[in-house]
Structure 1
Amino acid sequence: MLLIERYIIAEIRRPVSVMVGILTFVFASYSAQRYLTQAANGTLALQSVLDIVVYKVVIALEMLVPVALYTSVAIALGRLYHDSEVTAILASGASPLRLYRAIALISLPIAVAVTALSVYGRPWAYTQTHRLEQASRTDLDVNHLLPQRFNLNQDNGRMILAEHIDHATGSLENALIYDPGEGKTRVFRSKLAKVVDPNPDDPIVAMTNGTSYALEHQGTKDVNIVFNNLLLHLKPIAPEPDTIRKATSTAMLSVSTMAQDKAELQWRETRGVSAILLALLAVPLSRTAPRKGRFSTLLPVAALFAVIFYASNICRTLVANATLPLMPGVWLVPLLMAAALMVFVGRDLAVLRRHLK
């Protein structure tokens, strides 16, 4: 009874597996190159790179898996149309709904996995990534600093320069610390500086025999102080609100009343539904005349994915800004996808009824 469905599923399962592997490898390679560059610049611990890349891959899978499924459905059905196999299936008396049923059968477990990734795996991976970055990307960890080089932290703009660095004792000789602020920039120059605590939440540096400069961005109240000993508390690295929100558990988001949290919650809830709807929409979009070319429909397929992707992001932003009401909120895009799918299914059924008359 499910012979046709099993055949179509087998045609899709192979390219899905290959494409997920390829997309994951490409994304992991890009992420590794990015973080290895930061490790080479001394702003990230080398031993943390592999862990961060793994967490980034977990975060990206909620997008990579639906893309692989959607593309694989389009390619597989395009081949079946190209080789007239779909024509033969329909000519045997099978309903066109069996194509949709086959796609639904393979998409359902994938959609469940994507939902689990988005609801549970994604915030967990963001939490772990944030923890590692906070622990290893602090610009005051001497293990990450390079001597005679401008060590710049992109997160807060702080720059550290030292002629010599003793990684064993955490001492910096002839050190220069540039610490920008909202209304005032501070510059510290000392013969010897020692990192007392590299904790990014409260970084502390003990400086000996130096000069500090406090430069007002507006006005002329600049301060110049010569010191023998100075215990310097630098500005902590504050995580971005968006990063904190993405790392927040789904249970916490569900009880929040903030529009930004509701937008993030709806984004997670819609990922699995969007994945299965996207795969089902690939069925009518992959339809082509026999012998026309199996890849002739990839352009409209790619265009539809781009529209859905950007529309989902726009809806999330509008909900976060309280411009779009929570109902339908981010669910607006899956609802429109479901409506379009019903139109395509209705058209296929109407064609079937005309052929039966």
Structure 2
Amino acid sequence: MIVFRYLFREVLLTLSAVSAVLLVIIMSGRFIKYLAQAASGALDPGSLFLIMGFRLPGFMQLILPLGLFLGILLSYGRMYLESEMTVLSATGMSQQRLLAMTMAPAALVALIVAWLSLSLAPQGANEFQLLLNKQDALTEFDTLEAGRFQSLSDGSRVTYTEELTNDRAHLSGVFITQKNLGQDAKDRSISVLVAEKGRQEVRADGSRWLILDNGYRYDGNPGLADYRAIKYDTYGVLLPKPDVSNDVTDRDAMPTKSLIGNPEPRAVAELQWRIAFPFLVFIVTLIAVPLSRVNPRQGRFLKLLPAILLYMSYLSMLTWGRGLLEGGKIPLVLGLWWVHALFLVIGLGLMYWEPLRLKLASRRSAEEMTRG
């Protein structure tokens, strides 16, 4: 029991450290991406941390299996390097018993990963898509910032204001340029609006207007001398009416219960993908235990790179198999089980190859001594 607790603690401590580092790296990359979208006006800056929270379960279901895999390699590799495994082996600790003890933390991680992939990650993806739908319904004035040019997603209009009140109702120093995209080259004119101040109004029918005061409007075609300038006291611009969609079409956001029994290839592929992660945990544990066995003279990082490549091959084949399932190129009954079976065979081969090789070498030496 003391050995079991020691191994359990070593694996979980290393798993926590590795997972924390991986999480920081992945979350930082995603946060930079969303921050760039917020800077361009595509996202509301106030919702960035909410978005990261919704995406966290999806990140964790990918990080935890890799963290466990590296945790076993690093912790057991250190124990081999410091001859702790040699001492345990001398007291009767076989590779099979070591694997059985390692399956305990693996089972804990598998339960957490199953909870994430089957429940939390789809819920987070659903909330993330609903939030994006709300973001798409915002007008350019809902994300407008003073002193910054704000462009629509299609690039048809660019808006700028020098000052903006906190309630976004009043603007000053307004500049708006809009492209009129007609089929004829003569109709592809540009309109430029400048105004001393402006305000947003919501009419009784629900329509939203930007009312500009004391400004000019310039219309014309680039490269042609047919510009027209109009001075106005009050000018109204109709803003697009927000249309919030509650439809969720992303397959990652579909509840797991709606995928069960669904015969469509995309639904089957998504369900198989979610189920794959708990199985992945046990199989990579089977692979990691024999790969962590190193010679003290070689160092514990000798097998780290091949092990990571093997893990990435496993994950890549699952992704490839998912695509084949969605395309109907392999039977739905087969699913992704063939990938698990392949790496299960690899894990068993790694587990029993070294003892078998030593046994054959010992038998060969005995035969040579008998002949001598």
TM-score range, shorter chain: 0.7 to 0.9
AA of the residue aligned to 2:34:
Y
Give the alignment's TM-score, normalised by structure 1.
Answer: 0.78
What are the ranges of 5 or more consecutive residues in structure 2 without an aligned counterpart?
183-187, 221-234, 367-372
Q: Give the secondary-structure state (helix, strand or coil) at the position aligned to 2:159.
A: strand
Change (3 A) 1:152 1:262: farther
Taking the aligned partners of 2:330 and 2:189, their CA distance within structure 1 comes to: 43
1:11 aligns with 2:10: yes
1:109 aligns with 2:108: yes
Q: State whether residues 205 and 231 of structure 1, in contact with CA within 8 Å, keep that contact through their aligned partners in structure 2.
A: yes
Taking the aligned partners of 1:93 and 1:348, their CA distance within structure 2 comes to: 17
- Cα deviations by residue, 1:194-248 (Å, 9 ceiling, x for unpaired): 8778xxxxx97647898999xxxxxxxxxxxxxx97756579698998x621111
Partner of 2:159: 161
For residue 52 of structure 1, report the CA deviation from its aligned partner.
1.0
For residue 261 of structure 1, report the CA deviation from its aligned partner.
2.0
Q: State whether residues 287 and 351 of structure 2, in contact with CA within 8 Å, keep that contact through their aligned partners in structure 1.
A: no
Q: State whether residues 70 and 279 of structure 1, in contact with CA within 8 Å, keep that contact through their aligned partners in structure 2.
A: yes
Segments ≥4 residues shifted beyond 6 Å: 185-197, 207-213, 234-241, 352-357
Alignment of 1:148-227 (within 5 A): 149-152=148-151, 159-162=157-160, 168=167, 170=169, 173=174, 175-177=176-178, 206=209
Q: State whether residues 77 and 287 of structure 1, in contact with CA within 8 Å, keep that contact through their aligned partners in structure 2.
A: yes
Give the alignment's TM-score, normalised by structure 2.
Answer: 0.75
Alignment of 1:344-355 (within 5 A): 344-347=350-353, 350=356
Q: State whether residues 140 and 195 of structure 1, in contact with CA within 8 Å, keep that contact through their aligned partners in structure 2.
A: no
What are the ranges of 5 or more consecutive residues in structure 1 without an aligned counterpart?
198-202, 214-227
Taking the aligned partners of 1:146 and 1:255, their CA distance within structure 2 comes to: 49
Q: State whether residues 150 and 160 of structure 1, in contact with CA within 8 Å, keep that contact through their aligned partners in structure 2.
A: yes
Taking the aligned partners of 2:155 and 2:106, their CA distance within structure 1 comes to: 46
Partner of 2:34: 35
AA of the residue aligned to 1:293:
G
- Cα deviations by residue, 1:236-294 (Å, 9 ceiling, x for unpaired): 698998x6211111111224332122211110011111022112211112222233211
Partner of 2:134: 135
Partner of 2:92: 93
AA of the residue aligned to 2:290:
P
Change (3 A) 1:178 1:276: farther
Alignment of 1:258-297 (within 5 A): 258-297=264-303
For residue 126 of structure 1, report the CA deviation from its aligned partner.
0.7
Q: Give the secondary-structure state (helix, strand or coil) at the position aligned to 2:328.
A: coil
Taking the aligned partners of 1:317 and 1:237, their CA distance within structure 2 comes to: 31
AA of the residue aligned to 1:91:
A
Taking the aligned partners of 1:240 and 1:147, their CA distance within structure 2 comes to: 33
AA of the residue aligned to 1:175:
I
Partner of 1:57: 56
Q: CA RMSD in A?
A: 3.8
1:146 aligns with 2:123: no
AA of the residue aligned to 1:274:
L
Partner of 1:67: 66
Aligned length: 334
Q: Give the secondary-structure state (helix, strand or coil) at the position aligned to 1:160.
A: strand
For residue 344 of structure 1, report the CA deviation from its aligned partner.
2.8
Q: State whether residues 141 and 168 of structure 2, in contact with CA within 8 Å, keep that contact through their aligned partners in structure 1.
A: no
Change (3 A) 1:322 1:177: farther
Partner of 1:20: 19
Change (3 A) 1:144 1:89: same
Change (3 A) 1:180 1:89: farther
Q: State whether residues 206 and 229 of structure 1, in contact with CA within 8 Å, keep that contact through their aligned partners in structure 2.
A: yes
Structure label with greater radius of gyration: 2
Partner of 2:223: none
Alignment of 1:229-268 (within 5 A): 244-268=250-274
Partner of 2:323: 317
Q: State whether residues 40 and 150 of structure 2, in contact with CA within 8 Å, keep that contact through their aligned partners in structure 1.
A: yes
- Cα deviations by residue, 1:76-119 (Å, 9 ceiling, x for unpaired): 12112222322332233332201211221110110111011001
Change (3 A) 1:127 1:294: same
Taking the aligned partners of 2:317 and 2:152, their CA distance within structure 1 comes to: 34
Taking the aligned partners of 1:3 and 1:230, their CA distance within structure 2 comes to: 75
Q: State whether residues 273 and 334 of structure 1, in contact with CA within 8 Å, keep that contact through their aligned partners in structure 2.
A: yes
Q: Give the secondary-structure state (helix, strand or coil) at the position aligned to 1:142.
A: coil
Identity rate of aligned residues, in percent? 23
